[in-house]
Chain A
Amino acid sequence: MSLYYETIHSLHEKLREGTVTSTMITQSVLDRIREVDEKVHCYLTLTEEAALEAAGQSDERFRKGDVSGPLDGIPLGIKDIFLTEGVRTTAGSRILENFVPPFDGTPVSRLKKAGAVITGKLNMDEFAMGSSNENSGYFPTFNPWDRALVPGGSSGGSAAAVAAGEAIATLGTDTGGSIRQPASHCGVVGLKPTYGRVSRYGVIAFASSLDQVGPLTRDVRDCAIVLKAIAGHDPADSTSARVPVPDYPSLLTGDISGMKIGLPEEYFPEGLDPEVEAPVRKAAEALAKRGASLVSVSLPSTRYAVATYYIIAPAEASSNLARYDGVKYGVRLSDPGGLLEMYRQTRSKGFGPEVKRRIMLGTFALSAGYYDAYYGKAQRVRTLIRREFEEVFSRVDLLLSPSSPTPAFPLGDRLEDPLRMYMCDMFTIPANIAGVAAVSLPCGLTPGNLPVGVQLIGPAFREEILLNAAYAYEGERGEFPKCSL
């Protein structure tokens, strides 16, 4: 197998044995990028020179026996929402076309400290708003499994890169499903940790109370490795939790005997695409075969989750995106019409249509006379949804559901219908609303050879339980095929 398709842990073994070097691995990935990226368009910015230099430094460390850990020397791709010092960071938007950050955000600096090699910045829906990567201000990313289809979003570039071999693993963000849904469409593992598990400092904000940073990887062990490197309290992020970070990789035993797994009826609605339901139910059975018991549960507030999300997220976004005004950084489109005209030109031309749509929605939901009916109400419903999860987790250990109601859909299919696009996230949104942890794992292929993802949802700050169950399932499922790109 080519190096670019290997896992972090298998490469680490080889690096320790000395049968490969980081420079070899990195070169393999860079060559792969050169070979296929023009077909799928995962990358917005490539940092080849810096990557090879970092690889060389890693090789030096391995020679001296001064290794940082399992991520040392491993080439990773970074969603363009993460600030990278000296490397252009756009959040997929034209309004930040020329923005070069003067510092690394915390997740990136922790990966660098672990010795990881950064290959470049990955394409995304603009300001993380979207479920198909078609909202990128630059170009869409294509699904490596079928290039007429979307890879999902907003971490579409991150998911597609892992699937296509253009990175060993990647970092993404998940606000309403933006890691899990593209992971499901691209046949990779995608984890959204508990809100507060990973620092948001240096992560361009979309919805402050929902955004979380997480890995997209080829297998569960890799996911645990990356999570361990980036998780933990950060004094620069007041919402990051002071909860100790378990040694996630060492807790992957695969033993789930006695585990209770709930299947919420609201996540298996009447009319659910059978091409999705079949492999997901098979996954549930696989877990049962490994000793878990399956329980039917109900989360009645689920039906309010999407509406709640589409008030809270745009409201917070409308405020978070106010700083893009052409005054201090990024693009400024001037017109000799004065301040107001400068604001108008910069933001009208700098932002894409979905971003503008959500800014308007959010501004309305917060405006005088409407705050209580919309934002205030949504926050109260949010508490109900959160309580429902807490209650169900007192009866079961994990929940299982499809990650997405459909497999990947054709480009352009939902662009004219925003609400239909929003429904892509109906199974992923509730975990963001409640702040709990959730992971998507590839569980099967449709007859049309498209990946389907199964989602496991776990209680807050118990990612080790979640990942262990995922690991057990993976063991039962066996090898998952690669895309044919």
Chain B
Amino acid sequence: MEYVPVIGLEVHAQLQTESKIFCGCSTRFGQAPNVNTCPVCLGMPGVLPVLNKRVVDYTLMMGLATHCRIAAESVFARKNYFYPDLPKGYQISQYERPICEKGWVEIPVEGERRKIRITRIHMEEDAGKLVHEGRGGAASLVDLNRAGVPLMEIVSEPDIRSPEEARAYMQTLRDIVVYLGICDGNMEEGSLRCDANISVMPAGSEIFGTRTEIKNMNSFRYLSQALEYEIQRQTEVLEDGGRIIQETRLFDSAKGVTVSMRGKEEAHDYRYFPEPDLVPIRIDPEWLDRIRAGIPELRNEKITRYAQDLGLPEYDAEVLTAEPGTARFFEDILAHGVEPKKASNWVMGEYARLLKDKGTEAASISPEQVAEVIRMVDASTVSVSGAKQVFEEVFLTGKDPGAIVREKGLAQVSDEGAIEEEIRAILEANPQQVQQYRDGQEKVLGYFIGQVMKATKGRANPRLVNEILRKMLKGR
């Protein structure tokens, strides 16, 4: 019997606000423990939360970008449980009346676009971190820098039908939050987190099987691996006549398996109730309009535009838009009147290579300067290889391309007369090779070109050299 997986993903995105969600503490990552704290996020007696409006702005952007229905009035709720990284003994989250509901995104699946529905999006505060010390966890240290950092939780309907789709969905969500500028989308650092609910059912069935929850998948690769493994595991259990136990399982990345947390977990009753210390948020149409006006062109829109309007291949469009910074850079080059495919080649080629080798901080080349380099190639002012040299120099120093051409003497010799002179000299000096060529050995041409380039220190226009060489060889 063939089994089909049914997957729903719960994604948490850390929002890139300056301050935490309910107090003014900094959200900056990587500080000494408990430096970014105040009485409010420490959960001291007598403190009260005050909502950071930017958190709502960012969540509204996400809701609009994913076609959600935005609540006219939304409330916060307390999720009650005890753990040392949760200072108040409850997390302020949302339960009934979340801010966004019933949206969707489209994901690419085998050349087609499939709609994955979003059940809800809501806001909540993050908990702190525990650092376990000593053998066998002799002591635990509590770092509350992260307590109160704003999170956006996105829950999908169980519409996902394969690990590939799950990955595409995660990638799509990541693209949206990164393009909106609300989250840096880093799964390895934990600013984008993902838990999965997964079950399998016989192909053609409409009744979902018992699901398990999978946690601790902190990269796209681990997400695929974990889901593959779990599908396999559940299928085998059912084929052996067993039943799936509803439980939470952790992904063990070292072994590539999911492990049951049974025995450590009891069913949590979070005793949700509306947060009495916060008033309901009212979202009026004017607020939504302002948010809507501020939403930039998203990745999938750019890909479509690049392909349809700019005539770029889909591959180019996808590479150029993988990060919004690259896309912006590319578009800024176009603004200086460069052909899209040429700009694309340079960005995907030399620019990408240098970014990787030298690092993003080293990049000092402006879009205008890239456009100038391209123009110089078009005008045959430099050869392509000369242009690459110029490009790298501008990248590292930010100096004017024209100045670099002059300084390094990279100006291409395109004076036909001068080239003829050089070629004549070389042909005269190499009568044997001339004869070889005329006898049919085409390869000798390469030798002559090499000689010309050497004589001109690489500055002769290769196209012209080739043309004139052939002409002169044929001619005499």
Interface residues of A (CB under 8 A from B): 82-83, 89, 91, 96, 99, 101-103, 105, 200-205, 208-209, 235-239, 315-316, 318-319, 321-325, 327-329, 339, 343, 363, 366-368, 371, 375
Cα A318 to Cα B39 in complex, Å, equals 20
Partner of A208, one of B42, B44, B276: B276
User: Are B269's CB and A322's CB within 8 A?
Assistant: no
A316 with B276: in contact, given A238-B49, A368-B269 (CB under 8 Å)? yes
For A315, A324, A366, the residue with the greatest tally of chain B CB atoms inside 10 Å of its CB is A366
Known: A83-B46, A363-B271. A319 touches B80 (CB 8 A): yes
Q: Is the CB of B82 within 8 A of A204?
A: no
- B259 contacts A by Cβ under 8 Å: no
Instruction: Kindly state whether residue B50 has any CB partner on chain A within 8 Å.
Output: yes
Query: Which of B44, B88, B90, B278 contacts A329 (CB under 8 A)?
Result: B44
Closest residue of B by beta carbon distance from A210? B276
Contacts of B17-58 to chain A: CB distance below 8 A: 39, 42-51
Binding site for A on B (CB under 8 A): 39, 42-51, 78, 80, 82, 84, 87-90, 140, 142, 269, 271-273, 276-279
Query: B88 near A322 (CB under 8 angstroms)?
Result: yes
B282, chain A: closest CB distance, angstroms: 13
Report Cα–Cα, A201/B279, bound state, in Å. 15
* Residues of A contacting B82 in the complex (Cβ-Cβ under 8 angstroms): 322, 325, 343
* Given A236-B48, A371-B272, 17 new contacts (CB under 8 A): A96-B45, A101-B44, A101-B45, A205-B46, A208-B276, A236-B50, A237-B48, A238-B277, A239-B48, A323-B87, A325-B84, A325-B89, A327-B87, A328-B87, A366-B272, A367-B269, A368-B271
Do residues A339 and B46 form an inter-chain contact, with CB atoms below 8 A? no
* Alpha-carbon gap, A366 to B81, bound state (A): 13
Q: Would you call A235 and B45 a contact (CB within 8 A)?
A: no
Shortest Cβ distance from residue A163 to the other chain B in the assembled complex, whole angstroms: 27
Q: Inside 8 A of B87's CB, which chain A residues have their CB?
A: 323, 327-328
Q: Specify which chain A residues have a CB less than 8 angstroms from the CB of B271 in the assembled complex.
A: 318-319, 363, 366-368, 371
Cβ-neighbour of B277 out of A105, A239, A325 (below 8 A): A239
- CB within 8 A of A322: which of B42, B46, B89? B89
Is the CB–CB distance between A339 and B39 below 8 Å? no
- Interface of A, secondary structure class, is loop
**A327→B44 CA distance, assembly (Å):** 11
Give the docked Cα–Cα distance between A213 and B51 (Å).
23
The minimal Cβ–Cβ distance linking A233 to chain B, given in whole angstroms, is 12
- 22 interchain pairs (CB within 8 A)? A96-B45, A101-B44, A101-B46, A201-B46, A203-B46, A237-B48, A238-B50, A238-B279, A239-B278, A316-B273, A319-B78, A321-B89, A322-B89, A323-B45, A323-B88, A323-B89, A325-B82, A327-B84, A339-B140, A366-B80, A366-B273, A367-B269
Residue among B46, B50, B82, B278 facing the most chain A CB atoms (10 A cut-off): B46
Contact A319–B45 (Cβ < 8 Å): no
> Bound complex: CA of A125 vs CA of B268, how far in Å?
32
Q: Do A102 and B276 touch across chains, with their CB atoms under 8 A apart?
A: no
A83 to B39, alpha carbons, bound, how many Å?
12
**Closest Cβ–Cβ distance, residue B450 to chain A (whole Å):** 76
Contact A204 B46 (CB under 8 A): yes
A239 touches B90 (CB 8 A): no
Q: How far is the CA of A371 from the CA of B270 in the complex (A)?
A: 11
Which of chain A's residues has its CB closest to B50's CB?
A238
Q: Which residues of B contact A91 (CB under 8 A)?
A: 45
Chain B residue numbers with a CB within 8 Å of A324 are 45
- The residues of B that contact A367 with a CB separation of less than 8 Å are 269, 271
Given known A-B contacts A238-B51, A323-B89, A343-B82, A204 and B45 have beta carbons under 8 A apart: yes
- B280 CB to nearest chain A CB (Å): 11
A89 to B89, CA, bound (A): 20
Bound Cα distance from A101 to B142, whole angstroms: 20
Which of B39, B90, B269 is within 8 Å of A319, CB to CB?
Answer: B90
Q: Give the 9 A-B residue pairs with the shortest CB-CB distance, closest first.
A: A322-B89, A208-B276, A366-B271, A209-B276, A204-B45, A368-B269, A202-B46, A323-B43, A83-B46
Q: How close is B38's CB to chain A, nearest CB, in angstroms?
A: 9
B90 touches A105 (CB 8 A): no
Cα-based distance from A76 to B45 in the complex (angstroms): 22
Which single residue of chain B is at the shortest CB-CB distance from A211? B276
Give the residue name and chain of the A residue nearest to B42 (CB): A328
Nearest to B45 among chain A residues (CB) is A204
Residues from chain B with Cβ under 8 Å of A96 in the complex: 45
Q: CB-CB < 8 A to B39: which residues of A?
A: 102-103
A319 touches B273 (CB 8 A): yes
Residues from chain A with Cβ under 8 Å of B84 in the complex = 325, 327, 339
- A237–B273 Cα distance when bound, in Å, is 19
- A102 to chain B: closest residue by CB: B39
Residues in B neighbouring A237, C-beta threshold 8 A: 48
Q: Output the least CB separation between B445 and chain A (Å).
A: 80
Roughly how many angstroms separate A370 CA and B84 CA in the complex, as a whole number? 27
Q: How far is the CA of A209 from the CA of B277 in the complex (A)?
A: 7
